[in-house]
A and B are shown apart, each in its own frame.
Chain A
Amino acid sequence: QVQLQESGPGLVKPSETLSLTCTVSGGSVSSGSYYWSWIRQPPGKGLQWIGYMYYSGSTNYNPSLKSRVTISIDTSKNQFSLKLSSVTAADTAMYYCVRGYFTKWFDPWGQGTLVTVSS
């Protein structure tokens, strides 16, 4: 059974870059059957899709975040990563890494990691 686990700093200063890693166990990020996504949820609010990457290297980002987002994959470590630059308090959220199916649904989700943007 595939499991995903986020890791990274829980506190990031304004204007800096948020960096998170998702470790995949029980499956391979090199599988051609899925894509690997990040989704976030500000405290008390709804879900926002950030973007995804396919193992081949193709990416797709939320247009509202595209200028600040980079998603990458490290097949040797079976991990994928998120970088979000120039963060502000509005980027404070629970960040989830998620596996995506080609028929456009997400499962499973990692447990999430809370990132707070504050000086």
Chain B
Amino acid sequence: NFMLTQPHSVSESPGKTVTISCTRSSGSIASNYVQWYRQRPGSSPTIVIYEDNQRPSGVPGRFSGSIDSSSNSASLTISGLKTEDEADYYCQSYDSSDHFVFGTGTKVTVL
């Protein structure tokens, strides 16, 4: 099976933009949808991006997702960073057998 590797942590000041990468170890990143979840301390994960770049209702437009086949990675971008965005973020995808894989997780710190 494949792995999804994320940076351990990223940090930025309020109002700035952060981008979190999610690199697939084998197989094409574009062949299966990528999702992104936010997990605030002590809480369950919640979906922020599904099907590569779709935002569920209630998730602000500051959150966006994209796929880059050249680097075989997906990215989550958070613009206009707010203190409430401080959380762990996980990417997720699956293989042809419907086995699901989560990324290693990235801690976002708002300075």
Which A residues lie at the B interface, using CB under 8 A? Answer: 46-49, 60, 62-63, 96, 101, 103-112
Chain A nearest CB from B24 CB (Å) reads 14
- CB neighbours of B90 from chain A (8 A): 46-47
**Bound complex: CA A32 to CA B3 (Å):** 30
Which B residues lie at the A interface, using CB under 8 A? Answer: 1, 32-33, 35, 37, 44-47, 50-51, 56, 90, 92-94, 97-105
**Bound complex: CA A103 to CA B100 (Å):** 12
- CB neighbours of B104 from chain A (8 A): 46
Across the interface, do B102 and A49 meet the contact criterion of CB distance under 8 Å? yes
Instruction: Tell me which of A46, A49, A63, A96 has the highest count of chain B C-beta atoms within 10 A of its own C-beta.
Output: A46
Across the interface, do A63 and B33 meet the contact criterion of CB distance under 8 Å? no
6 A-B pairs with least C-beta separation: A49-B100, A109-B44, A47-B102, A105-B50, A105-B35, A107-B47
**Bound complex: CA A104 to CA B92 (Å):** 9
Across the interface, do B47 and A46 meet the contact criterion of CB distance under 8 Å? no
**Bound complex: CA A49 to CA B45 (Å):** 13
> Contacting B46 at CB < 8 Å: which of A46, A48, A109?
A109
Across the interface, do A110 and B102 meet the contact criterion of CB distance under 8 Å? no
Across the interface, do A104 and B33 meet the contact criterion of CB distance under 8 Å? yes
Across the interface, do A106 and B99 meet the contact criterion of CB distance under 8 Å? no
Across the interface, do B105 and A106 meet the contact criterion of CB distance under 8 Å? no
> Contacting A105 at CB < 8 Å: which of B44, B92, B101, B103?
B92
Chain B nearest CB from A59 CB (Å) reads 11
Question: Would you mind naming 15 contact pairs between A and B with Cβ atoms under 8 Å apart?
Answer: A47-B45, A47-B90, A49-B102, A60-B97, A60-B98, A62-B99, A62-B100, A63-B1, A104-B35, A104-B100, A105-B33, A105-B50, A106-B92, A107-B50, A109-B44
